[in-house]
Amino acid sequence: MNARTHPVPEQFDDPVQQREAATLGMWAFLATEILFFGVLFAGYTLCRVRFPEAFAEASRHTDMLLGTIETAVLLTSSCAVALSVREVQLGGRRLATALLGVTALLGISFLVMHGFEYYAEYQEGLIPSIHYTQQGVYAHGMAIFYCLYYFITGFHSIHVTIGVVLMGVMGWRTWHGAFDQDYHTPLELTALYWHLVDIVWIFVYPVIYLVGRAG
């Protein structure tokens, strides 16, 4: 489908109205995502109030260096996809496709690094109900921390995976000239989704990796 012949669906009057509807719809969806992840963050907050020491202790068992690198990777990927949208808006195609490829690769590298983290935690006995070997007064509180950690990062990784697939699709469509200055809404919406996944991680980083590092 060529961007220039992209028809406006019959319920809309013109392309401007169509874009308004699409972006508003996407943002409403992102608001639901905020609350979807929000439950886990709220659960984390309420549980941390009950087990402050255990949460600090558990957080010290996470891999701060890897966590920091993962954060940097996601932030960079966000910039890459933002630049890709910009490039399409300015009429570019090759560079835009390349930037989407970079985004997807950064996303994949994030997932791989996270896989290594999970594996290390498995060996250390930090996965409740699968392999959990922690003992002592903090064992229960740490188990709750790790449950929340796996739920949050698990759901986040699912979102990253979806994002990588979408980046692939968008890259393919961009390469084949589906988008131009006038019509690029799907690309724009995919970028919004990717940024939101990034924002979730921005909050994961301090609450999972940085608690009790100084003590």
Q: Scanning residues 193 to 212, which ones bind other proteins (CB under 8 A)?
A: 195-196, 198-199, 202-203, 205-207, 210-211
Work out whether 1 is an interface residue with other proteins (CB under 8 A).
Answer: no
**110: closest CA among 145, 144, 80?**
80
**Minimum CB distance to other proteins, residue 181 (Å):** 6
Strands (E), the chain: 126-127, 131-132
Query: Residue 7: which region, alpha, beta or left (left: phi > 0; alpha: psi -120 to 50)?
Result: beta
Binder to other proteins among 96, 106, 143, 166 (CB under 8 A)?
A: 143
Work out whether 12 is an interface residue with other proteins (CB under 8 A).
Answer: yes
Binder to other proteins among 4, 5, 7, 130 (CB under 8 A)?
A: 130
Work out whether 179 is an interface residue with other proteins (CB under 8 A).
Answer: no
What sign for the dihedral angle of Cα 70, 196, 155, 159?
Answer: negative
| Residues contacting other proteins: total by CB under 8 A | 86
Work out whether 161 is an interface residue with other proteins (CB under 8 A).
Answer: no
C-alpha span between 156 and 111 (Å, rounded): 10
C-alpha span between 66 and 24 (Å, rounded): 36
Binder to other proteins among 104, 148, 164, 166 (CB under 8 A)?
A: 148
Instruction: Give the footprint of other proteins on residues 13-72 (CB under 8 A).
Output: 13-17, 19-21, 23-25, 27-43, 45-47, 49-51, 64, 68, 71-72
Work out whether 141 is an interface residue with other proteins (CB under 8 A).
Answer: yes
Binder to other proteins among 104, 106, 126, 144 (CB under 8 A)?
A: 144
Strands (E), 125-200: 126-127, 131-132
For residue 72, what are the contacts with CB-CB under 8 A and spacing of at least 6?
A: none
| Both tokens assigned to 206 | 């301090």
